[in-house]
Structure 1
């Protein structure tokens, strides 16, 4: 059982975090990918001073083109407006995993810049590490004037529900001048002005090997770049705290670690890829032993963006959803006692051929974290991540929070026993063969650390 000292240590960390005052009327939860797309386009069209888009990628497909065209239209209408985009350097210069070689997103940015010589919208490529497998820009958030639209989503057809399929995420529109200013200034100072960062909308740019030394220094610098702002809220009012971090000792990771044990009644968390760092698993076990409730909402393996249906050609990347399911089954087998007594609830999300990308943490009715962090070893150690922690001691956001969670649960089933999940013996032959080969050479442990 958690001692009072430990409980106080965790609560003390949260109490000491700097906070920005927030009006409940100025937080609006969006409840679907289509509403996210519509709101983003509306806000871009209505912007007057600044737009800063930060995402893992902005894809050259119908959804991505709608966003970038809207940005060009907004800049054309108000040439004095500051409009910029930040995406991952490596991801922008390759195609999708498993797809045939084709023109890259960076090629598209260059073409649009060439086609619109009077309109300058810089697209910055952020190299978080020398190789994509070792760290990417997983920082999220769109600053539009004095508001932040925060989501774990990137920008393409499925995240924006442009056509039939969608990838389900979370979306919060937060009107807060101080929050927007904090995020905007941090991106301008620490990302866009960095020596390792180059424009992707210009064809004359260095190769990744040519900037490897600058990239290594940039990565080192990023570890020390926390958000800078003047706090103006206490612990007895609705407030937000922006958090950013790279590496396992970051303030963001420390806050996630301290947030979870603060649950007096219930912890709820969402992750698309069940592969939690051991330190977070220990937090969950500690809560269960202390008699608290824990709810985990994770995507079914078929709702994973790497899942390949059996009637399609198999690629190695298609083994990932099965590896995550193996992790979940092992986790549940250890904690079946708490599943059976109702303390631990695990829900699997599945809805048609759509995919699941939700992440976040809810602690009682008091704390809520919106983040792009997948709560996995990659997020914990390799990627540049951020989040907004919302403190709601007066429960002013209860209606929005309950509606969001109810919608997330809509297409879920509860796992009552670990044997309800498939074992390796049940998997397709090619998956089974690959996983056993990976285990034999022990590379599955390495994969779990970087994916």
Structure 2
């Protein structure tokens, strides 16, 4: 089987000089090709990504993928220190991740999974009220109706003068007003907090550098959010971290299914995500009240950084350097931290990864492709019995996997089950305006991939399920991996990415790759997946022959045109 591959891509360059200042080149563009490729990127918005010299096609399936050889002496030392710990299953299968991401060692008992939106909301409030020193919230937005959540923050700040709160949201989404006069923007909701506690609460709004000039003037609110967003969802409370894909709005607290993972008493991991928020905030707008009498007025200010709208080129360059330095700093931190740890005490490894294509950061995509490569290669090791194939479950609330992800799945000698939202479980179902056609667009994309599965005779290995629960919508995303026919997963990926073109090309995303040998944690992750599959139906050819699944021609054309915005 020979799947066509992408013709334009960016290749990692590894410096031969043993100099710590060159470490950021691991996440940069090949200098020789940078001008040509970046010009194409800026003018055509083409899809670019880090890839290895070999691609996962039928003629090279047995070749190792994404070969990353550490050139820096610190990385070499790091490998010798950690190798003893990861040369046993399940870690040994995924040790290439050590060359891509920082890592954190934990015990499975420190990690707790939540199952329902209501649990997520109650845990948020509980963690806010228990925090004594710091709260870092990163989310797309906070719904204007979430007065109780904001008041919980107010109570927490009042009861602890040492408590510092930093909230990072997307600028476009968080300054957009609702469809009614009473539905104001999240900025208005948070403004009283900033005014009341100027020394304790900071609110930052990230703005994409891709929305500038005439495009900024012509695209109306809501539509302009398709250009790019700050999509990270992470919540730090002192030394506790809650990771999710959920936004902070009523639906996500009641009947919109997502994923939620709580890491308790994990100072290094929480420091990483707190630093991530502060680093992005360093080149984001700050919410400030005006001196006008009307309390509803606010302003957005930048401090010593280029403006993403009026100085987008300089903003990209500056912010990319800042983020590369962030990655380098944490990679080195992990090396130094490992020297002082007794590795035998830990049974779980966390690899945090970020994706910021507008700033040339593609760590999450590279890591995900590496995981998919590992899953694929296991079936090539003289395994004839398909019952012994690894099993992988891959889900997104918006079925629009990138071409590279789909190629990995189609070429893999593994069992895949893909879980997507049914049209009724799509958050845009029965919405007003042109957005009501969005569920049909995803049906079209889903049908295309199902046709690919059938074309390559993979129906027995690759299944598509749809989430359909009366009165509920579906927003979960992630990957679960079961090794060697085992009953419980050893790996899961959780975070904000939907694994589509938007996540890889336009938005800011953050994920955590968790690998564990802890039995109770593996069972909990398995139970989480099972709870979602309770409400699914399998997709077949007959699914797309139903009258209500027919996609009008104009929608099919529009979907092809705006595929990277979905």
**TM-score of the alignment, normalized to the shorter chain, above 0.5:** yes
Partner of 1:173: 262
Unmatched tracts of structure 1, length 5 or more: none
Partner of 1:242: 352
- 1:272-311 aligned within 5 A: 272-287=397-412, 290=413, 292-308=414-430
Count of equivalent residues: 424
So what's the TM-score if we normalise by structure 2? 0.69
Cα deviation for residue 392 of structure 1 reads 1.5
Cα pair distance change 1:12/1:340, threshold 3 Å: closer
2:544 aligned with 1:421, yes or no? Answer: yes
Distance in 1 (CA, whole Å) between partners of 2:247 and 2:154 is: 19
Cα deviation for residue 347 of structure 1 reads 1.1
Partner of 2:159: 77
CA contact (8 A) 1:267 1:361 kept: yes
Cα pair distance change 1:449/1:200, threshold 3 Å: farther
Partner of 2:274: 184
Moved more, 268-277 or 207-216: 207-216
Cα pair distance change 1:179/1:207, threshold 3 Å: closer
Distance in 2 (CA, whole Å) between partners of 1:53 and 1:8 is: 33
Distance in 2 (CA, whole Å) between partners of 1:77 and 1:85 is: 19
Instruction: Map Cα deviations across residues 257-307 of structure 1 (whole Å, 9 max, x no partner).
Output: 1111212411211101111110110000011xx2x1001111101101111
- 1:200-211 aligned within 5 A: 203-206=297-300
2:229 aligned counterpart, secondary structure: coil
2:136 aligned with 1:52, yes or no? Answer: yes
2:146 aligned with 1:146, yes or no? Answer: no
Instruction: Map Cα deviations across residues 356-400 of structure 1 (whole Å, 9 max, x no partner).
Output: 000001122332110110111010100011101112146562111
Cα deviation for residue 445 of structure 1 reads 1.8
2:149 aligned with 1:67, yes or no? Answer: yes
Partner of 1:444: 559
Unmatched tracts of structure 2, length 5 or more: 1-57, 69-93, 212-223, 291-296, 379-389, 483-488
1:45 aligned counterpart, secondary structure: helix
2:121 aligned with 1:37, yes or no? Answer: yes
Instruction: Map Cα deviations across residues 312-335 of structure 1 (whole Å, 9 max, x no partner).
Output: xx5211101111011111211221
Partner of 2:448: 330
CA contact (8 A) 2:441 2:555 kept: no
CA contact (8 A) 1:56 1:91 kept: yes
Distance in 2 (CA, whole Å) between partners of 1:110 and 1:71 is: 13
CA contact (8 A) 2:105 2:349 kept: yes
> 2:96 aligned to 13, 27, 31, which one?
13
Cα pair distance change 1:388/1:72, threshold 3 Å: same
CA contact (8 A) 2:112 2:262 kept: yes
Please identify the structure whose Cα radius of gyration is greater. Answer: 2
CA contact (8 A) 1:76 1:119 kept: no
CA contact (8 A) 1:338 1:344 kept: no
